[in-house]
Amino acid sequence: MYRIHCMNNISTVGTAALERAGYDFVDEPGAADAWLVRSANLHEIGAPDGLLAVARAGAGVNNIPVERCAERGVVVFNTPGANANAVKELVICGVLLACRDVIGGAEWVREASDDPQIAKRAEKAKKRFGGCELAGKRVGVIGLGAIGAEVADALIALGAEVMGYDPYLSINAAWGLDRRIEHATDLGQLLGSCDFVTLHVPATDETRGMISAEAIGRMKHGAVLLNFARDALVDERALAEALDDGRVSRYVSDFANPESANMRNAIVLPHLGASTGEAEDNCAVMAVSQLRDYLENGNIVNSVNYGRVDLGPLAPGETRIALFHENVQGVIGQVSQAVADAGLNIENMSNVSRGQNAYTLLEVTGPLDDEVCERLASLPRIRRARLITRP
Ligand SMILES: NC(=O)c1ccc[n+]([C@@H]2O[C@H](COP(=O)([O-])OP(=O)(O)OC[C@H]3O[C@@H](n4cnc5c(N)ncnc54)[C@H](O)[C@@H]3O)[C@@H](O)[C@H]2O)c1
């Protein structure tokens, strides 16, 4: 059975599912067929030759050398959407904390806690901590993926008007969005018309610094910025100036760093977005189920370095070959030829590429064995060939 090494503590809901399925847990990373990981930085750790997959219980994969893994035929999985509810709830909390000075008010009560006249004083003090209501305000949601879409729905349910901006939204995802979300065709349109702006895009070369000094200058005077995505999206130095002079009234961020921690009018949290027991359970269950589907059936669902292939479960007694290769012309031809030379006929095949990386899952009529697998592995441009059998 397969051996798993956990690079971090993984929710027992996930690990117990593996134990029940007969998987072994090993202490030595080099002895494992697959790694489960949350935040451990894998950039400095070399992957052992036998490593087949890395499954991250979480969405971001900045801590994993995704392309280096791909070049060696190591599939990297993540768990998109598994923590979306947890992040959404904290974003809504952030929006409400920005509406009213709940934190200032609670601090005032704590400081005055020894005063027997506190109730009387509170009635006078409370005007300092008043605020506005969310209902009727316009909120711009940048990025309408798993988290952004849930945030938009929750905001609408609370009576806000929502404008969304996501030029890369798939048609399927767009169909699933609430029709009350107004569609912004460019970022400037959203920034210039919203009272609140909330970020839900990944940190990529394109999005890094997207809330630049210029973008901040386009925001409505006194708007609130919420950032539960990544701090690299915001030019926080420019933002600090805008917070100082009131052009931006508040910044609510989930990313504490020396710049954000010292900002005026900011509420900065220590990356709490996905920190709920439920989110950790959801991520672990999803990571483990995707990992099992790959190890036991060769299917790849939710990988960040190889495309999606799903031939369903492998029937008892059947065998598949999983081939990782460069995405270049001629590879499929040479594979078909090698299979034919071994006296076998391809019965079912799924081939999918992503960038430079391609994956082919083969079912053939006739007995597949290690020898055929080794022959396929030795073909040019093939990175790895793996025989998958189900007893
Ligand atoms: N605070 C936390 O604890 C926490 C937890 C999970 C995720 N996150 C962050 O939230 C981000 C979003 O997570 P998700 O699960 O919704 O991801 P997702 O992949 O489901 O959605 C991201 C969306 O951003 C869109 N997008 C990409 N580039 C864009 C651009 N230039 N302009 C507008 N839209 C763009 C994509 O089309 C996609 O719809 C993650 O990348 C991660 O950085 C934070």
H/E element, 382: strand 382-389
65 close to ligand 1 (CB < 6 Angstrom): no
Q: Are 389 and 354 in contact, with CB atoms under 8 Å apart? A: no
Across the range 170-195, mean pLDDT stands at 96
Q: Output the pTM of the full model.
A: 0.86
pLDDT tops 90 at residue 8: yes
Q: Assign residue 50 a region: left if phi > 0, alpha if psi is -120 to 50, beta otherwise?
A: alpha
Binning pLDDT at 50, 70 and 90, where does residue 391 land?
confident
209 close to ligand 1 (CB < 6 Angstrom): no
- Alpha-carbon span 103 to 178, nearest angstrom: 32
Across the range 53-66, mean pLDDT stands at 94
Cα distances from 186 to residues 28, 121, 235, 289, in angstroms, run 50, 49, 19, 38
pLDDT tops 90 at residue 231: yes
pLDDT digits (tens, 9 = 90+) for 65-87: 999 999 999 999 999 999 999 99
Provide the residue type at 337 as one letter.
Q
| Distance of CA 80 from the midpoint of ligand 1 (Å) | 9
Q: Are 292 and 299 in contact, with CB atoms under 8 Å apart? A: no
| Distance of CA 287 from the midpoint of ligand 1 (Å) | 18
pLDDT tops 90 at residue 46: no
Q: Are 56 and 287 in contact, with CB atoms under 8 Å apart? A: yes
Binning pLDDT at 50, 70 and 90, where does residue 41 land?
very high
84 close to ligand 1 (CB < 6 Angstrom): yes
| Distance of CA 109 from the midpoint of ligand 1 (Å) | 37
202 close to ligand 1 (CB < 6 Angstrom): yes
Looking at the domain 315-391, which fold is it?
A: Alpha-Beta Plaits (3.30.70)
- Look at ligand 1, atom 2, and give the residue with the nearest C-alpha: 273
Q: Token digits for 379?
A: 């073909």
Least-confidence region, from 73-87, 125-139, 153-167, 355-369: 355-369
Across the range 283-289, mean pLDDT stands at 98
Residue 182's pLDDT is what?
98
165 close to ligand 1 (CB < 6 Angstrom): yes
| Distance of CA 156 from the midpoint of ligand 1 (Å) | 20
Which atom of ligand 1 lies closest to the CA of 275?
3
pLDDT tops 90 at residue 277: yes
- Phi first, then psi: give them for residue 364, nearest 5 degrees: -130, 160
Binning pLDDT at 50, 70 and 90, where does residue 97 land?
very high
Percent residues over pLDDT 90 in the chain: 95
Q: Where in the chain is the domain with CATH 3.30.70.260?
A: 315-391
pLDDT digits (tens, 9 = 90+) for 325-358: 999 999 999 999 999 999 999 999 999 999 999 9
Q: Which of 15, 7, 1, 2 is nearest to 47 (CA)?
A: 7
Provide the residue type at 111 as one letter.
E
Q: Are 326 and 356 in contact, with CB atoms under 8 Å apart? A: yes
User: Who's near 220: CB < 8 A, 6+ residues apart?
Assistant: 191, 192, 193, 194, 195
Q: To test ligand 1's pocket by mutation, which of 88, 91, 92, 147 has the most ligand atoms within 8 angstroms of CB?
A: 147
Q: Token digits for 52?
A: 């087949």
- Look at ligand 1, atom 41, and give the residue with the nearest C-alpha: 202
Binning pLDDT at 50, 70 and 90, where does residue 60 land?
confident
Any idea which residue has 């210029």 for tokens? Answer: 214
pLDDT tops 90 at residue 366: no
Domain 134-268, CATH = 3.40.50.720
Q: Token digits for 199?
A: 């970020």
pLDDT tops 90 at residue 59: no
Residue 208's pLDDT is what?
98
Which atom of ligand 1 lies closest to the CA of 173?
39
pLDDT tops 90 at residue 159: yes
Q: Which long-range contacts (CB under 8 A, 24 or more apart) does 237-241 make?
A: 238/212, 238/213, 239/211, 239/263, 240/264
Residue 369's pLDDT is what?
87
166 close to ligand 1 (CB < 6 Angstrom): yes
Q: Where in the chain is the domain with CATH 3.40.50.720?
A: 1-82+279-306, 134-268
- Alpha-carbon span 10 to 5, nearest angstrom: 10
Any idea which residue has 């996501």 for tokens? Answer: 166
Binning pLDDT at 50, 70 and 90, where does residue 32 land?
very high
Cα distances from 290 to residues 42, 62, 85, 162, 299, in angstroms, run 20, 19, 20, 34, 8
To the nearest whole number, what is the mean pLDDT of the chain? 96
Residue 272's pLDDT is what?
97
Domain 1-82+279-306, CATH = 3.40.50.720
- Phi first, then psi: give them for residue 153, nearest 5 degrees: -60, -45
Across the range 274-296, mean pLDDT stands at 97
Pairing of strands 3-6, 24-25: parallel
| Distance of CA 304 from the midpoint of ligand 1 (Å) | 14
Strand-pairing partners, residue 224, are 196, 250
